[in-house]
Amino acid sequence: MSDMISYKEAGVDIDAGNKFVECIKPIVKSTFNKNVIGGIGSFTGAYELPEGYKKPVILSATDGVGTKLRLAIESKKLDTVGIDLVAMCVNDLICNFATPMVFLDYYATGKLDIDSSLEIMKGIAQGCVQAETALIGGETAEMPGMYHGDDFDLAGFAVGIAEKDEIDRNAKIKTGDVLIALPSSGIHSNGYSLVRKICFDKLNMRFDEPFGEKTLIETLLEPTRIYVKTFKLLKQSINALAHITGGGIVENLPRVLPLGMQARIYKNSIKRLPVFDFLSKYVSEEEMNRTFNMGVGMILVANPLNVDTILAQTDGYIIGEISGGERKALMI
- Which CATH number fits the domain that encloses residue 318? 3.90.650.10
Do the Cβ atoms of 157 and 47 come closer than 8 Å? no
Q: Tell me whether residue 7 is in a domain.
A: no
Q: Is residue 221 domain-shared with residue 133, that is, in the same domain?
A: no
- Spatial separation of the C-alpha atoms in residues 212 and 217, rounded to whole Å: 12
Q: Tell me whether residue 2 is in a domain.
A: no
- Which CATH number fits the domain that encloses residue 142? 3.30.1330.10
Q: Is residue 143 domain-shared with residue 235, that is, in the same domain?
A: no
For 3-42, b/e burial (b = at least 16 CB within 10 A) is eeeeeeeeebbeebeeebeeebeebbeebbeeebeeebee
* Neighbour tally for 110: CB within 10 Å: 17
Q: Is residue 182 domain-shared with residue 89, that is, in the same domain?
A: no
Q: Tell me whether residue 9 is in a domain.
A: no
Q: Is residue 184 domain-shared with residue 311, that is, in the same domain?
A: yes
Number of Cα atoms under 13 Å in the Cβ half of residue 123: 27
Per-residue pLDDT, 314: 97
- Spatial separation of the C-alpha atoms in residues 231 and 103, rounded to whole Å: 18
Domain boundary among 125, 144, 166: 166
Instruction: List the strands of the sheet with 134-142, edge to edge.
Output: 56-64, 152-163, 99-109, 134-142
Tell me the Ramachandran region of residue 214: left when phi exceeds 0, alpha when psi lies from -120 to 50, beta otherwise.
beta
Domain boundary among 166, 194, 211: 166
Burial class from Cβ neighbours inside 10 Å (0-12, 13-18, 19+) for residue 2 reads exposed
Give the pTM.
0.95
Inter-CA distances, 196 with 87, 133, 192, 201, 213, Å:
21, 32, 6, 7, 20
Q: Is residue 20 domain-shared with residue 88, that is, in the same domain?
A: yes
Q: Tell me whether residue 249 is in a domain.
A: yes
Q: Is residue 200 domain-shared with residue 294, that is, in the same domain?
A: yes
Sorted by sequence, the CB contacts under 8 Å of residue 282 that are 6+ apart come out as 198, 202
Q: What is the pLDDT along the chain (332 residues), one digit of tens a residue?
A: 467 876 676 677 777 778 888 888 888 899 999 999 987 777 888 999 999 999 999 999 999 999 999 999 999 999 999 999 999 999 999 999 999 999 999 999 999 999 999 999 999 999 999 999 999 999 999 999 899 889 999 999 999 999 999 999 988 999 999 999 999 999 999 999 999 999 999 999 999 999 999 999 999 999 999 999 999 999 999 999 999 999 999 999 999 999 999 999 999 999 999 999 999 999 999 999 999 999 999 999 999 999 999 999 999 999 999 999 999 999 99
Full domain range(s) for residue 262: 170-331
Per-residue pLDDT, 9: 65
Q: Is residue 192 domain-shared with residue 300, that is, in the same domain?
A: yes
Number of Cα atoms under 13 Å in the Cβ half of residue 88: 26
- The residues that bridge with 135 in the sheet, in sequence order, are 103
Q: Tell me whether residue 111 is in a domain.
A: yes
Q: Pairing relation of β-strands 134-142 and 99-109?
A: parallel
- Spatial separation of the C-alpha atoms in residues 318 and 271, rounded to whole Å: 10
Q: Is residue 261 domain-shared with residue 219, that is, in the same domain?
A: yes
Domain boundary among 119, 146, 166: 166
What is the H or E stretch that residue 289 is in?
Answer: helix 285-289
Q: Is residue 152 domain-shared with residue 60, that is, in the same domain?
A: yes
Q: Tell me whether residue 104 is in a domain.
A: yes
- Of 36, 40, 128, 18, give the one whose Cα is nearest residue 82: 128
Number of structural domains the chain divides into: 2
